[in-house]
Amino acid sequence: MDPDGVKTVPLFEGLDGSQRERIARWADEVEVDQGKHLVDEGDFAHEFFVIQEGEANVTHEGAVIAKLGPGDWFGEIALEETDRRTASVVATTPMRLIVMLGRDFHEMEAEMPQVAGTIRQAITQRLANT
């Protein structure tokens, strides 16, 4: 993945060039069509997503609980707190995403604790709201 793509994501905006290069090494960019199920509630978690372009709905037990767009991320709760997805996410438009596998996500946490701290703070806030 191109390190310049990483700098457009608010989660990574405070990183310097070498830090963005490390994130890019662990991540892939993917494009998906409208209607694509990105994650399904109850499935085992294997990846973390950051939205570069497009929108998606988050559902829990069939009800829409949130709408996501560029700069939002999802999938981190299951990678951190449990082994199963707590919600489903479905693309409502075509999307471009940064995807990081669980093992790479954990390596990123170990090597870049400042980014991990930001993500952990988001996890804590999301868990408090559920």
CATH number of the domain enclosing 56: 2.60.120.10
Residue 47 in domain: yes
pLDDT at residue 81, rounded to an integer: 59
* DSSP assignment string, 61-110: TTEEEEEE-TT-EESHHHHHH-SB-SSEEEESS-EEEEEEEHHHHHHHHH
Residue 18 in domain: no
Residue 17 in domain: no
Residue 5 in domain: no
127: how many CB neighbours lie within 10 A of its CB? 12
Residue 57 in domain: yes
pLDDT band, residue 39 (cuts 50/70/90)? very high
Q: What is the mean pLDDT of residues 42-61?
A: 92
Residue 9 in domain: no
pLDDT at residue 79, rounded to an integer: 63
* Residue-averaged pLDDT of the chain: 84
pLDDT tens digits, one per residue of 84-124: 888 999 999 999 999 988 888 888 888 888 777 777 776 67
In the chain, the number of structural domains is 1
Q: Print the domain residue range for 103.
A: 29-128
